[in-house]
Chains A and B, each alone.
Chain A
């Protein structure tokens, strides 16, 4: 049953792939440390380069997955030192991390967060190794109708869990699916929403879409941050960089619990690191906060979100590799990257492309060790990244975006489209949308329509096929429950409103 892992290690231990895992971990930590550039932006900016380098699928995936997990490590830097979350997953890290830095414990805080990130990620990678092949065996039984129901479930889980505003999350997802409709309809050959423009016949290109949505809109957003006065880029002193065994033992339970919780949240489709961080922090606060120290620089308040967000990053690979349903916005981008290689992740991936699935999982083990080794002694060096001025950073992002898109298309239409998508992305972000649902909708939209039409083609147009099997019926009920319960529960709880902050 674990043959894939043995084959995976033989793939991941080749010099090229080892080097890429190391490079990914390094770049990811740097990207995560830079305020504003999270894992998605990092991957969006570097993906076209990985693609043009002509790397084989498993090597490209190893590089990109390294960036992803590395960015979850790096996100804590600016949270702790500057009180600015480096990415969405590190928002909760600011709550106790920055007060620790103010107390002069920035170094131990960085050390502790590296160790708890490692523990969280290790739990989740073990979970991934055990759980993914099992789920893949179940997923083989999925037909088009079950997949359609699964995607409906993924979207409703996302609408409930992701972002502050469920309506905007839902609108974002619908817009993403609509963008996926553009181009030739594969079943009938009809042109949809192309308006006679040959550039759109193949649909909106994935690279153009993510670069526009994440990199260009980020450049525009950074302009606003740059003109804020509170941004002096001064770092507090680090102090001793190593965390003591006593401090680690204090947080041992917190790390294990949060790692497990983060893994489970990561596996749920559509919910990512930010949810994991928030849930684990509030859980630990409820369990451990007997003296009101949480929020004032409690080590456990730092360990909880860090263990959880790294665990959820690895956990979100489970649905991506076994079902082809991304567990987070970042895995949606990775899924799209795999599709560029004509590999559709799904139940057959463990049997058809064991080198990709196994190689990725094996490289996560290696990358995690590399990250711990890099992050403990080099925390001070990475912290220096925070002082890179925006006037160096932004032109670099612009150049990488242009070269990436130009390299794949060599025409101006793609670049215009990238800029337009960037402006739309910027406006949507200003309007309080998060971009992850859009990219999830865009990646899943085509698959969703294909599966719906395939299911109905099998049944000859009889819609009851969509909920006939036990699996799909369960998924429909679960999806409905997810959408209805958040409204229903508060009303049921209203009777006993005790300490509901």
Chain B
């Protein structure tokens, strides 16, 4: 929260961006064009951008700005849980089908956003079924029905 930590964050970002710029420049230089009427070619633009990014990152390292509050341990854990849940949604989506996977994910997501179990389950069931009906009947979208049913 103090100035020094958030300035450190900007410095880290600056260093990471310089690495990114160097990587992009190296990749641009490795592009091989056999022959072309195009006087610029595919290299010049990315190369110019890498140089620009490198210069801007240097400014960031030497004159870091302030930025927001970083989440504490508990919140960071919750963030990871939300991400894991979204990833699980992606994996379950084609397998369990839309309605079932959405019901589970909505319930857990609502729990993570501090709903009670009762509220979360009601939200999950209603929203999953309601949106399934809206998407398939109202908007004519085909959704995966899941491999477990067949």
Binding site for B on A (CB under 8 A): 49, 52-53, 164-165, 167-168, 170-171, 174-175, 177-178, 181, 185, 187-188, 190, 192-193, 216, 219-220, 222-224, 226-227, 389-392, 394-396, 398-399, 402-403, 406-407, 412, 415-416, 419, 423, 429-432, 449, 452-453, 456-457, 460-461
Contacts and interface: CB of A to CB of B under 8 A. Distances in A.
Given A224-B75, A399-B128, 14 more contacts: A181-B46, A188-B38, A192-B46, A219-B82, A220-B79, A403-B141, A406-B143, A407-B141, A415-B93, A423-B83, A430-B67, A431-B10, A456-B40, A457-B37
Contact of B90 (A170, A415, A460): A415
Interface string B27-63: 1100111001111111001100100110011011001
State the majority secondary structure of interface residues on A. helix
Nearest to A227: B75
Contacts of A167: 56, 59-60, 63, 65
Given A170-B56, A412-B90, A432-B65, A392 B39 contact: no
A17 to B, nearest CB: 18
A437 B95 CA distance: 38
28 contacts: A52-B139, A167-B59, A177-B49, A178-B49, A187-B38, A188-B36, A192-B46, A223-B112, A223-B113, A227-B78, A227-B114, A391-B114, A392-B110, A392-B123, A394-B113, A395-B124, A396-B127, A398-B89, A402-B89, A403-B131, A403-B143, A415-B90, A419-B83, A429-B68, A430-B68, A430-B70, A456-B40, A457-B37
B99 to A, nearest CB: 11
B47 to A, nearest CB: 11
Interface in B66-116: 66-68, 70-71, 75, 78-79, 82-83, 86-87, 89-91, 93-94, 98, 102, 105-106, 109-115
Contact size range, B: 35 or more
B55 to A, nearest CB: 10
Contacts of B120: 391
Contacts of A187: 36, 38, 42
Nearest to A187: B38
Contacts of B40: 452-453, 456-457, 461
A431 B57 CA distance: 13
A225 B27 CA distance: 40
Given A49-B139, A449-B45, A419 B65 contact: no
A219 to B, nearest CB: 7
Contacts of B15: none
Given A220-B79, A391-B113, A423-B83, A188 B41 contact: yes
A390 B71 CA distance: 18
A359 B109 CA distance: 40
B22 interface: no
Q: Which of B36, B40, B66 has the most CB of A within 10 A?
A: B40
A399 B106 contact: yes
A406 B144 CA distance: 10
Nearest to A394: B113
B67 A432 contact: yes
Contacts of B49: 174, 177-178, 181
A412 B144 CA distance: 13
A450 B42 CA distance: 10
A190 B33 contact: yes
Contacts of A177: 49
Contact of A432 (B24, B45, B63, B68): B68
Contacts of A457: 37-40
B113 A390 contact: yes
Contacts of B113: 222-223, 226, 389-391, 394
A1 to B, nearest CB: 38
B119 A391 contact: yes
A193 B24 contact: yes
A216 B86 CA distance: 9
